[in-house]
A and B are shown apart, each in its own frame.
Chain A
Amino acid sequence: MRSPADVVAQHAAETRRQKFSFRSFLRFYTRFPIPWWLFLLSLLVSLVNTEVMLRTAEYLIQINKGELYNGVLIGYALATVLNAALSMLVNVTNEYGVAKVTFRARRLLWGKILHLSMREVERRGPSALISGVVNDIKEASAVVRITFSVVASLYSLVRCWVEMFRFNSTLSLYMLALIPLALVVFAIVGHLQYQMMRRRYESLSSMTRFFSEHLSAAKHVKAQAIEDLEVEGGFDVINERYRADVYYACMFALQTLTNSLYTTIGTVAIAIFGSDLIRRGQMPQTGINDFSTYRSRVDQYTAEVLTQYQTLKGTQGALQYVGALIDGPVEDPDAGVDLPPADVLETLRLDSVSFGYIPQQPVLHDLSFSIPAGKVTAIIGDNGSGKSTLLKLLQGVYSPDSGRIWLGDVAEDEAKASQLRRRFGVVLQNNPLFSGTVYDNIAYGVEGPVERTRVEQAARLAEAADFIHELPQGYDTEVGVAGSLLSGGQRQRVAIARTLMTAPDFLLLDEAGASLDYRTDRTIFRTIREQFAGRTVVVVAHDMRTVLDADFIVVLHHGALEASGTHDELVRTSPTYRTYLEKQGYALPEEASL
């Protein structure tokens, strides 16, 4: 398993390469309220601060000239402090604004993600979505601040140029000639930066992947006695990382060299031309001091503007990703017609249903059959025959590519999705829990306040009450991320209790007993049958005992319907069913084997 941070970093690296688009930028900011006044205030203060900064520079020049009067010292101290106080104000307003935008945008985006269709969630991939909420949104929000900062920095840059020009125009003109050089250096440095960060990132992610994969397989390694092989494999990725680090070190040195080369050329130019000017009496004796001070400010602001430009360009990927999500299609779970009242038993009817997760790879072909109301229906078939997919379609979390599913007289695709899904309870082979207490997890699907007695009742029915009482804090014990602090069987029982709590009309069980031991499995399902007597239960199972308990059986073969009917009918009509019975040691009726 890759850590979320790792995944997030990879995604960030991928999106960084996209092109600048002003449209995605604008669209993003029309989506939610932005505290413009904070950013405007910050801009205003930073313009004022430029003047304070220039004043500080003048004091500094005086100090360097040896003009150490009390007035200069006090002025310098006050200007420095004022400068810092104003900077603080600029940053606080800016960052406060960004924090607000991030917060609002995040909530909006998360709402969108929650309402994406399952297909869309799969297409985009969970890791990219996570990175969208955690990282991209942050980058995107920072764009507002950067835009304002660019204006402020440009203003300061111009002001410094003007001051420098006023002080000595000849030398300033020489400096002007250095601007193309600055741009070239900046481009080179940016390119190197990208190269070395990418290689470093790639090596880090392959190292992280290797170790996380291999550290969780310790038992396998020990059992196969392949420690030497492991050490070797680890050394390979460590060395790969080392090579990337060495590359980084060289590129970084080259980058620093290029960067300081630019500064040095400037310094050298000032020294040569400045000393010449002084000798010719066209500049005061201490002129190099004055000029260098202005020039260091000019350099500082040039760097600021260029960096901001680079950052702005870098946020394009994030902006586009977030923009596409916010503008993209979502499901509205409350759109559509109402279902008939819950107490009326309805038959589920499939009408030529076909479906594939990816268009070219159909999983289910042209399925038509009915699932009788108030009965237990078993679905059987080999791995990959589409049993689990069928359950997902029944519940409406995926919709068929063609054909329709009818719940009584209502077509599922026209019904309100939230109502429809609440009618169904699902227990899978492995059910995720969310971090939180056992209690929270059992009460998870219930809207509104929950009575404690109901939770305890559900836990009892799911055979979970005993182990919960033995937990250190009983129902208030934390289950850990994805329920990792509980054992597989315990997780399963909590999940069953969670489903029982929602009192669904239709219960879908997808190998729900596979991670329980045989005894618990039987007890729980006896309870479930009692609880659900008169309601519809659909079971996917490999264990023929469960199948034999069903009233109606559906046999799938490579995504198509092989047969459906009762045990007696299928023994005659379905070869798969017969093999299954045989393989699990059930005797076949005489006339069937003939």
Chain B
Amino acid sequence: MDTSALFRKRYGSFRRFFAMLAKARLPYLWIVGYLVVSAIIANVGVSTTEYSAALFAGNVGLLTVVLPFLFFQVLSLFIGSLSQLLSNLCTARIDRNLRRMVWRKVVHLPLRFFEANNPKELLSRITTDVSDISSLIMLVFLSALTTAYSSWVILERISSYDSDLMWSLFIVLPVNLLITFVMGRMRFGVADLINKRNAELTASVSERTNNMLLIKSMATEDKESANVGERMRASYSADVMNLWVTNLALPANAIATALQTVTIILVGRGFYSSGALDLTQWVAYYGFATQLTNILGAYCGYWSSFKGAQGAVDRVSQIMDEREENLRDGSDAGALAGDIRLENVTFSYGDTPIFENLSLSIPAGRVTAVVGPSGSGKSTLLNVIDRLYPLHDGRILFGDKDSASCSLSSYRGALGYVTQESVLYKGTIRQNLLHGIGRCPTDEELDDVCEMVGILDFVREQPRGYDAPVDENGSSLSGGQRQRFSVARALLKHPDCLLLDEATAAMDINGKDCVWRSIRHVMEGRTVVYVAHDVQTLRNADYVIVLEDGHVAAEGPRESVLKTNAFCRQMMDADEEGRS
């Protein structure tokens, strides 16, 4: 195994981690406050232990022991709660600041990043990974300081009884730490296995429960009973393994603790019997030694179980290292007008090129359909026109204006793009219609647009009209309804140029007809480019571009392309049959 590579990687991740913390604006003032309170607790704790030792030894003077004991008890009660409060507040602030930092970053990353990373994974960057990092800071880094200080205070107090006693104690401590560390690692490994098995079980149950219709219609109930039964058995064996590992640790731990206690006592016994310690000091010493091993043990516990945090740190800091998209640089797009011309555009998502030296021209103020077999680059064409991806080569012109000279945000803002997956968010119908259009139209205007896309009746039927709730991802609406709202939103935006990617695919025949009539009406005199998926939508075009394998197979006015191009003829042939 190449250990040096491993070290380099570790080193790299540490460097990234601190770079990330520097960017994250940690709540330093709160952290300092927490540290101060922790220091006070360490000192109060020492006094509490000493007075309770005196009580235990039968020293019951009211003023000398009982009252100070009570005072320190109450004091530690309040300060303890205060420290707890501060610690949780620090965690909350760190969480918030890290989350804001990561989210701001993620939003500004290019689309490629989202394609390379599963959205579910990205979600856990912001939710769980961030919490892991703040726990790492609080429980491992800051805890290192507070633990070191408390240990020092306790050791100092022991050495005030007898400095040799303190040094003897030093021999015992490392053994204790080692044991806790090993135990923690073991438990962590098994916990990992359990989580994995449970996640597998949940995934397999949820996949099936969500597709119960398929199981019923295939009549495969028995098969699924066996399939998931296997997962349940796997989860069961992980549980059994876990119970052995966690519980075998009990006696092992107990033996370790007993040995340790005996050693602590043996160390102290010599001093006690020789009279170097009186009874009160003995009880205090014993209390201190136990406390010390507990504190250090707890710290080791955190340290060993926070192996997972390293992954979190790596993942989050990698995101922070990504390059953002530059949205603002460049001139304002202004009004985009004129033919859209692609000149020698070369583009690929990965290794296989989609376009090589593609040149085409889309007439201004007309409706242009893009057709072609799947994989021919229809959607990609819209994506590059909207500059969602950087071109490898070539340029895109609007009239005489090179699109690359415009700032991304103004350019994309001037274009309307209805993507294949119609996006609706949880909220109300109104919020969804107005999302991102940057102005507040009146209800009359909303009515007009909704009427145009044939959804006004639906809105009227809702008891709360435009304020009717929309579920997460618009799941309470049908595919056709979602597409109508998406088109309505794009029309409300008054774009200079509208791009539509199969935006009416889920609508019925009458719906498509109505929506397309409206698009042609509203976008009168402006450019519309769309990916056509069937004969009916293709009929709405003035101009047609046929893509095959990333090349233009034909372009021109609809009628002439339909006559000359083989793909289009094939697409329309049923039409001929119908006429005959």
Contacts and interface: CB of A to CB of B under 8 A. Distances in A.
Interface stretch (B136-144, B222-230, B335-343, B395-403): B222-230
Contacts of A268: 70, 73
A453 to B, nearest CB: 21
B283 A249 contact: no
Contact of A81 (B202, B208, B255, B435): B255
B578 A63 contact: no
Interface string A217-237: 111111111110111001100
Contact of B269 (A64, A68, A249, A279): A68
A4 B203 CA distance: 7
Contacts of B212: 114, 116, 118, 121, 126
Interface in A406-450: 417-418, 421-422, 424, 426, 431-432, 434-435, 444-445, 447
B123 A215 contact: yes
Nearest to A263: B77
A250 B87 CA distance: 11
B6 interface: no
Given A285-B57, A445-B218, 18 more contacts: A68-B268, A88-B250, A103-B233, A103-B235, A216-B119, A223-B415, A226-B435, A238-B103, A245-B91, A256-B81, A260-B77, A268-B70, A284-B58, A288-B55, A289-B57, A333-B221, A447-B223, A579-B509
B348 interface: no
Contacts of B60: 274-276, 278-279, 288
A257 interface: yes
Contacts of B209: 113, 121, 126, 129-130, 133
A514 to B, nearest CB: 7
A225 B409 contact: yes
A267 interface: yes
Interface in B320-352: 325, 327
A586 interface: yes
Interface stretch (B152-160, B163-171, B239-247, B549-557): B239-247
A64 B55 CA distance: 11
A213 B425 contact: yes
16 contacts: A64-B283, A73-B265, A84-B253, A99-B236, A102-B239, A103-B236, A110-B232, A211-B127, A212-B119, A223-B386, A252-B85, A253-B84, A272-B66, A392-B213, A544-B578, A586-B578
B413 interface: yes
A114 B100 contact: no
Which of A121, A225, A584: most chain B Cβ within 10 A? A225
Contacts of A221: 107
Interface residues of A, number: 148
Report whether over half of chain A's contact residues are helix, strand or loop; otherwise say mixed: helix
B214 interface: yes
Interface of A: 1-5, 8, 63-66, 68, 73, 76-77, 80-81, 83-85, 87-88, 91-92, 95-96, 99-100, 102-103, 106-107, 110-111, 113-116, 118, 121, 126-127, 129-130, 133-134, 204, 207-209, 211-227, 229-231, 234-235, 238-239, 241-242, 245-246, 248-250, 252-254, 256-257, 260-261, 264, 267-268, 271-272, 274-276, 278-279, 284-289, 292, 333, 381-384, 392, 395, 397, 417-418, 421-422, 424, 426, 431-432, 434-435, 444-445, 447, 481-482, 489, 502, 514, 516-520, 542-545, 548, 579-581, 583-587
B260 to A, nearest CB: 10
A274 B505 CA distance: 84
B410 to A, nearest CB: 8
Given A134-B198, A134-B201, A76 B262 contact: yes
A225 B408 contact: yes
Contacts of B92: 242, 245-246, 248-249
Contact of B62 (A73, A275, A422): A275
A517 B373 contact: yes
A81 B123 contact: no
Contacts of A121: 209, 212
Contact of B100 (A235, A285, A434): A235
A445 B215 CA distance: 9
The 9 A-B pairs at the shortest CB distance, nearest first, are namely A84-B254, A285-B58, A249-B88, A245-B92, A545-B574, A275-B60, A517-B374, A289-B56, A253-B85
A275 B283 contact: no
Given A87-B250, A225-B408, A383 B243 contact: no
Contacts of B77: 257, 260-261, 264
A434 B89 contact: no
B468 to A, nearest CB: 16
Contacts of A5: 199, 202
A126 B206 contact: yes
Nearest to B224: A114
B225 A111 contact: yes
Contacts of A113: 209
B360 interface: no
Contacts of B506: 383
